[in-house]
């Protein structure tokens, strides 16, 4: 049996390599774009409490764009944050902020249904959504919907009060001709 070295991995010449090995994909070094490096540098200077969710997610998406798609999200592997931290590309606190934000987006939660495939950093299926996880996602969606409706109602109340006050002011304006008892019909 002959073997050759390729990318620090031993490949058996007798086996056709039709797909990339799972470990190869997950251990492939990640190279940050210039924009991502600048954003990482900017975020590294900020305290954790001042990092915007969208900034953290943008950085994570620049590293793993095929996994973190906002337009068509797929459920992520349970414990994916450990895999992300092991790469050493991003600090743990940025990963935490991005994952919390991403996994609470309504589109993501809508995809968390029993039996739906979960994906790892390689984009491959690594598990399935369990019933309990799907129920938890439904509860989060419901709570988001309730709080959004409450915010909408609360935001309309001050607007309605302003409108009523404006109408009252208009009604309270008395025309000078009305004060003198002179009718404008004459």
Tell me the CATH number at 112: 1.10.1710.10
DSSP 3-state assignment of 123?
Answer: coil
Angle between helices 53-63 and 92-102 (to 10 degrees): 100
Question: Do residues 59 and 39 make contact, with C-beta atoms less than 8 angstroms apart?
Answer: yes
Pick from 25-34, 105-114, 152-161, 171-180: least confident: 171-180
Q: Do you know the residue count of the chain? A: 186
**Domain count for the chain:** 1
Pick from 10-14, 104-108, 113-117: least confident: 10-14
User: Is residue 24 one of the residues assigned to a domain?
Assistant: no
User: Is residue 22 one of the residues assigned to a domain?
Assistant: no
User: Is residue 183 one of the residues assigned to a domain?
Assistant: no
User: Is residue 6 one of the residues assigned to a domain?
Assistant: no
Could you tell me the pLDDT band of residue 175, with boundaries at 50, 70 and 90? low
Average pLDDT estimate for 64-79: 96
Residue 20 has pLDDT above 90, yes or no: no
C-alpha 46: how far from chain center: 20
pTM over 0.95: no
Segments forming the whole domain that contains residue 54: 31-168
pLDDT tens per residue, range 141-166: 999 988 777 766 666 666 667 677 76
User: Is residue 179 one of the residues assigned to a domain?
Assistant: no
């Amino acid at each position: 049996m002959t073997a050759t070295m390729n990318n620090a991995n031993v490949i058996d010449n007798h086996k056709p390599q039709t797909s990339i090995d799972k470990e190869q994909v997950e251990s492939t070094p990640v190279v940050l774009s210039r924009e991502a490096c600048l954003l990482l540098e900017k975020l590294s200077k900020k305290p954790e409490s001042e990092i915007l969710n969208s900034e953290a997610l943008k950085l994570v998406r620049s590293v793993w764009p095929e996994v973190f798609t906002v337009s068509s999200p797929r459920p992520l592997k349970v414990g994916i944050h450990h895999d992300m931290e092991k790469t050493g590309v991003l600090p743990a606190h940025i990963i935490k902020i991005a994952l919390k934000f991403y996994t609470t987006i309504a589109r993501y939660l809508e995809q968390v249904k029993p039996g739906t495939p979960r994906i790892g950093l390689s984009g491959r299926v690594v598990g399935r959504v369990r019933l309990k996880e799907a129920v938890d996602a439904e509860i989060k969606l419901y709570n988001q919907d309730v709080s959004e409706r409450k915010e909408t109602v609360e935001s309309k109340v001050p607007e309605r009060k302003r409108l009523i006050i404006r109408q009252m002011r208009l009604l309270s304006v008395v025309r000078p001709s009305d004060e003198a008892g002179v009718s404008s019909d004459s």
